[in-house]
Structure 1
Amino acid sequence: MMSLPDSDSEDELPPGWEERASDDGVVCYVNQQSKTTQWTHPRTGRSKRITGELPLGWERYFDESSKRYMFLNKETQQRTNIDPRLAFAVEEPTLNVAQVRQRFDSCTAALQVLHGKDLHGRVALITGANCGIGFETARSLALHGCEVIFACRNVASANEAIDRIAQERPAARSRCRAVPLDLGSLHAVQQFVTHIKQSVSHIDYLILNAGVFALPHSKTIDGLETTFQVCHLSHFHLTLQLESLFDHNTRIVVLSSESHRFANLPVENLTLQHLSPPADKYWSMMAYNNVKLCNVLFAQELAQRWKQRGISVFSLHPGNMVSTQLSRNYWFYRLLFAIVRPFTKSLQQAAATSIYCATANELTGLSGLYFNNCYFCEPSKLSKCVALQQQLWQLSERLVSDIMEQQVK
Structure 2
Amino acid sequence: MNFAEEDSEDELPPGWEERVTVDGSVYYANHLTKNTQWTHPRTGRKKKVAGNLPFGWERMVSPAGEVVYVNHEDESTTYTDPRLAFAIEEKDHVNDFRQRFDASSTALGVLIGRDLSGKVAIVTGANSGIGLETARSLAKHGCTVVFACRNLEAAEAAIEKIRTEERLNIADNCIAIHLDLTSFATVIHFANTIKSRYQQVDMLILNAAIFGMGFTKTLDGLEMSFQVNHLSHFYLTLLLDSLLVQGSRVVVVSSESHRFANLTLENLSPLSLSPETWRHYWHQTAYNNSKLCNVLFGRQLAKNLQKRGISVFSLHPGNLVSTGLSRNWWLYRMLFFLVRPFTKSLQQAASTTIYCATAPDLLGVTGVYFNNCCPCQESSTAQDDEMARILWNTSIEMIQSVLGPNCPGLEDKRLLDPVSN
Which category of TM-score, normalised to the shorter sequence, fits these structures? 0.7 to 0.9
3-state SS of paired residue (1:272): coil
Is contact 1:107–1:345 with CA below 8 Å preserved after alignment? Answer: yes
CA distance in structure 2 between the aligned counterparts of 1:328 and 1:130, rounded to whole angstroms: 14
Is contact 2:128–2:158 with CA below 8 Å preserved after alignment? Answer: yes
1:195 is aligned to 2:193: yes
CA distance in structure 2 between the aligned counterparts of 1:356 and 1:159, rounded to whole angstroms: 26
CA distance in structure 2 between the aligned counterparts of 1:128 and 1:304, rounded to whole angstroms: 26
What is the CA distance between 1:275 and its match in structure 2? 3.0
3-state SS of paired residue (1:335): helix
What is the CA distance between 1:93 and its match in structure 2? 3.1
What is the CA distance between 1:403 and its match in structure 2? 1.5
What is the CA distance between 1:398 and its match in structure 2? 1.0
CA distance in structure 2 between the aligned counterparts of 1:268 and 1:310, rounded to whole angstroms: 34
Task: Report the residue type matching 2:236 in the other structure.
Answer: L
**Aligned residue number for residue 79 of structure 1:** none
**Aligned residue number for residue 170 of structure 2:** 172
CA distance in structure 2 between the aligned counterparts of 1:109 and 1:60, rounded to whole angstroms: 23
Is contact 2:24–2:48 with CA below 8 Å preserved after alignment? Answer: no
Task: Report the residue type matching 2:212 in the other structure.
Answer: A
Find the partner of 2:147 among 147, 150, 172: 150
What is the CA distance between 1:92 and its match in structure 2? 5.9
Alignment identity in percent? 53
Find the partner of 1:101 among 84, 91, 98: 98
Task: Report the residue type matching 2:179 in the other structure.
Answer: L
**Aligned residue number for residue 131 of structure 2:** 134
**Aligned residue number for residue 202 of structure 2:** 204
Distance 1:298 1:143, change over 3 A: same
What is the CA distance between 1:187 and its match in structure 2? 0.4
What is the CA distance between 1:280 and its match in structure 2? 2.2
TM-score (normalised: structure 2): 0.74
What is the aligned residue count?
330
Task: Report the residue type matching 1:346 in the other structure.
Answer: S
What is the CA distance between 1:95 and its match in structure 2? 1.9
3-state SS of paired residue (2:272): helix
Greater than 4 Å deviation, 4+ residue runs:
50-54, 59-62
Gaps of 5+ in 1: 1-22, 26-49, 63-90
| Higher alpha-carbon deviation: 260-269 or 199-208 | 260-269
Find the partner of 2:158 among 157, 161, 173: 161
CA distance in structure 2 between the aligned counterparts of 1:133 and 1:142, rounded to whole angstroms: 14
Deviations 1:95-115 (A, max 9, x none): 22xx22110110111100001
CA distance in structure 1 between the aligned counterparts of 2:91 and 2:125, rounded to whole angstroms: 39
CA distance in structure 1 between the aligned counterparts of 2:379 and 2:239, rounded to whole angstroms: 28
What is the CA distance between 1:248 and its match in structure 2? 1.4
CA distance in structure 2 between the aligned counterparts of 1:53 and 1:197, rounded to whole angstroms: 33
**Aligned residue number for residue 13 of structure 1:** none
- The structure with the larger Rg is 2
Task: Report the residue type matching 1:149 in the other structure.
Answer: V
Task: Report the residue type matching 2:311 in the other structure.
Answer: S
**Aligned residue number for residue 348 of structure 2:** 349
**Aligned residue number for residue 232 of structure 2:** 234
1:297 is aligned to 2:300: no
**Aligned residue number for residue 319 of structure 1:** 318
Is contact 1:275–1:291 with CA below 8 Å preserved after alignment? Answer: no
Task: Report the residue type matching 2:156 in the other structure.
Answer: N
Task: Report the residue type matching 1:281 in the other structure.
Answer: H
**Aligned residue number for residue 84 of structure 2:** none
CA distance in structure 2 between the aligned counterparts of 1:208 and 1:53, rounded to whole angstroms: 29
3-state SS of paired residue (2:247): coil
What is the CA distance between 1:172 and its match in structure 2? 1.2
What is the CA distance between 1:267 and its match in structure 2? 2.2
What is the CA distance between 1:223 and its match in structure 2? 0.8
What is the CA distance between 1:52 and its match in structure 2? 5.6
1:121 is aligned to 2:118: yes
**Aligned residue number for residue 381 of structure 2:** 382
**Aligned residue number for residue 224 of structure 1:** 222
CA distance in structure 2 between the aligned counterparts of 1:277 and 1:24, rounded to whole angstroms: 56
CA distance in structure 2 between the aligned counterparts of 1:145 and 1:60, rounded to whole angstroms: 12
Is contact 1:275–1:290 with CA below 8 Å preserved after alignment? Answer: no
3-state SS of paired residue (2:404): helix
CA distance in structure 1 between the aligned counterparts of 2:110 and 2:394, rounded to whole angstroms: 37
Is contact 1:24–1:361 with CA below 8 Å preserved after alignment? Answer: no
**Aligned residue number for residue 361 of structure 2:** 362
TM-score (normalised: structure 1): 0.77
Task: Report the residue type matching 1:190 in the other structure.
Answer: I
Matches within 5 A, 1:390-409: 390-405=389-404
**Aligned residue number for residue 288 of structure 1:** 287
